[in-house]
Each structure stands twice: as C-alpha cells, then as structure tokens.
Structure 1
Amino acid sequence: MSGQQIMDPSAISYMARRGVAPQWRGFLRALVETLDTHLDAAGRDALLRAVGGRMAQLAAIPACGTLAELETRINDVLAAADWGYAQISLDAQAKAMFIAHHAAPAVSTYHDAQGAWVGAVLEGLYAGWLATQPGAEGGVSVKVQPGGGGAITLRYGK
C-alpha cells in the first residue's frame, strides 16, 4: 500500500484511550513555559532530565536477565502511569540499544506545539532505569534521536 502506514491494532486502541488528564494540562504547560522563560534550552532540558531520573528512582525497575524482560518491566511501569509504551532493539553495528517510546504524554507549549520537551524527561527516565541494570557501564548516555516516525526514539550507547 503505497504511502499508507498500517498501525498495529493495539497501538490504535492505546491511542484512543490515552491522554494527559485535563487537570494537569494547564499546569504542565505553565510549568514548561515558565522554565523556558527562566532557563535557556540546555538548562531546561537538564532540569527535565533530572526530573526523569527522579521518576526512575521512584518507579524502579528490578534487575532484568533479558532484553524482553526489561521491555516488559518498563512497559508495566509506563502503563501504570499512562505514559505510553516502549519497544527496545539492539543494533550490534552501532553498539547501541534503541528505544522507540510510543504515545508519550504530549502537552504543547507556546514554543513547542508537539510537546517535544518530554523527550528530555524520557532521556532521564531511561538513563535512570538502564543505569541500574546488570552490565550497565558508567558514562553511557540516553539521547533522543531525530525522526522517529511517530515515536520518540532514544539511543543508549557511547
């Protein structure tokens, strides 16, 4: 089917019931816009990464023996918070792990209609979770990658 992308039925179901609760939309927009007013982009993102790291501590993932188990544990936590779901893959050539985070809660701001600011929160969240897993190395970062085709793609690797 040229030009059409078929979405997984489970993703369609999830998208139909997802959303940021109305009582939080105004608060989150005001918070991010206030951060944008008082901090440069790097400072805002650093603070949001720290928030994501704290979220990882508050919703810790136990040590996992396989990538499939890690994905399941992460998705259990994300589902409980209505924060979307993740698909994890390894790229041996790039010596990296890629996380496609689907259906992240999006709240637009004056300067960010797509709500891309949540990417910095996800960087901190996944960095916190992955740092506690067996075999994790210090100094390995989690960074949002450009593109993503509807998902926020993060790269874990040096």
Structure 2
Amino acid sequence: MLVQDQITDQNALTYFARRGVAPQWRVFLRAMMETLESHLDHGAREGLLRMVGARMASLMPLPACGTLDELESRMNDTLAIADWGYVQISLDVNNRTVMLRHVAAPMVGTHADLTGSWVGSVLEGLYGSWLGNQPGAEPGIHVRRVGPDGGAMLLRYARG
C-alpha cells in the first residue's frame, strides 16, 4: 500500500469515526470530557472512563464463546448495534497476547485531546470486561492501549 493510500484510509476512518457521533451528542460529549479534564487528573479520568466502558459491557453482555472467531463475531454484532465501529482480533502466541484492533470508534475531540483518543480508555474497560467474563478468563489480565494504528485503536489483552 502506498503512503498516499494509508493517509486516505486514515482520513476516511477518522471521518467515519467522527460522523458516527450523532450531532445531538457531540456537544454533550465534548462538554462532559472537557469538564472531566478540568476537574480530574489524568489517572482519575482514565480510571473513570474504564469504569464507563465496563458498565457498557454489563449493559451489552456477550454470551460465552468457544473460539476467538466467535468472540470477534459477537463483539462486532454488539458494536454494530451501538454504532461503535468494529474489532479485529488476533492472537500473538509467542507473547501470550490477544491483540484487538478497534476501527471507527466514535470520537469527539476536546481542546486538550483534539483526536478524541479518550475513547481508548472506554474501550479498555469495555473489552476488559467482555474478555474477563469469557469462560477460562484469568483474573488480573487487563486490556491496555498500545496506541493508534492508522485510523484505528490498537489494544492488547495480556498479563502485565
């Protein structure tokens, strides 16, 4: 893929992620996030947003899944209902890690976070709860952002 194609793809993903937030919620979300930014330190804000994601998971529970393919499909069905983009799951056997690539999360920027990357903390809580509630899940394993991946958010589910 050419660099120009990557830029176009990233711009398209960003466009669709911003477009995915209904106009009546865009101002509210920006005001809420800017209020949180001005009243909570970074760690407290991240923790609160993870709790919001975990609460979302409890409101949109997933059934027990037998394979990663089934889990990805169930997650994507649920994300589609909420218009929250989609996820691609891969397994890194050597590092005992499940990688999640979330595409087109609804993003609303703030004065301190123009890209709306705060949604990554919500995704950490959402995926952490969904994965933690699957059969055989071990306690103490968390989902954490690795960083942006083009126009997507890359997260990892692993110990430590």
TM-score (norm 1): 0.91
CA distance in 1, matches of 2:16, 2:23: 16
Mapped to 2, the partners of 1:87 and 1:103 lie a distance apart of: 12
Question: Take 1:153 and 1:107, find their aligned partners in 2: how far apart are those partners?
Answer: 18
Quote how far apart the aligned CAs of 1:3 are.
Answer: 2.3
Q: What pairs with 1:142-153 in structure 2 (closer than 5 Å)? A: 142-153=143-154
Report if aligned partners of 2:57, 2:127 keep a CA contact under 8 Å in 1.
yes
1:126 has 2:127 as partner? yes
The percentage of counterpart residues that share the same residue type is: 59
Paired letter, 1:77: T
Is 1:24 aligned to 2:18, yes or no?
no
Structure 1 partner of 2:73: 72
Runs of 4 or more off by more than 2 Å in structure 1? Answer: 1-8, 14-18
Structure 2 residues without counterparts, runs of 5 or longer: none
CA distance in 1, matches of 2:2, 2:90: 26
The secondary structure found in structure 2 opposite 1:123 is helix
- Work out whether residues 18 and 82 of structure 1, in 8 Å CA contact, stay in contact via their aligned partners in 2: no
Displacement after TM superposition at 1:154 (Å)? 0.5
- Corresponding residue number in structure 1 for 2:104: 103
CA–CA distance in 2 between the matches of 1:130 and 1:63? 10
- 3-state SS of 2:123 partner: helix
Partners of 1:32 and 1:41 in 2: how far apart? Answer: 12
* Aligned counterparts of 1:78 and 1:121: Cα–Cα separation in 2: 13
SS at match of 1:144: strand
Q: Distance in 1 between matches of 2:17 and 2:136?
A: 38
Distance 1:29 1:136, change over 3 A: same
Indicate the residue corresponding to 2:136 in structure 1. Answer: 135
Take 2:135 and 2:26, find their aligned partners in 1: how far apart are those partners?
Answer: 37
Higher percent of residues as helix? 2
For residues 32 and 2 of structure 1, what CA distance do their matches in structure 2 show? Answer: 36
* TM-score, scaled to structure 2: 0.90
Alignment length, in residue pairs? 155
Would the aligned equivalents of 1:84 and 1:101 in 2 still touch at CA under 8 Å? Answer: yes
The equivalent residue for 2:39 is 38
Query: Match of 1:101, SS?
Result: strand
Instruction: Report the counterpart of residue 90 of structure 1 in structure 2.
Output: 91
Structure 1 residue 20: deviation in Å?
Answer: 0.2
Distance 1:3 1:17 in 2: 23
| Residue pair 2:17, 2:107 contacting (<8 A) in 1 also | no
Q: CA deviation at 1:17?
A: 10
| Counterpart AA for 2:107 | A
RMSD: 2.1
**2:113 corresponding residue in structure 1:** 112
What is the letter of the counterpart of residue 33 of structure 1?
A: E
Which residue pairs with 1:3 in the alignment? 3
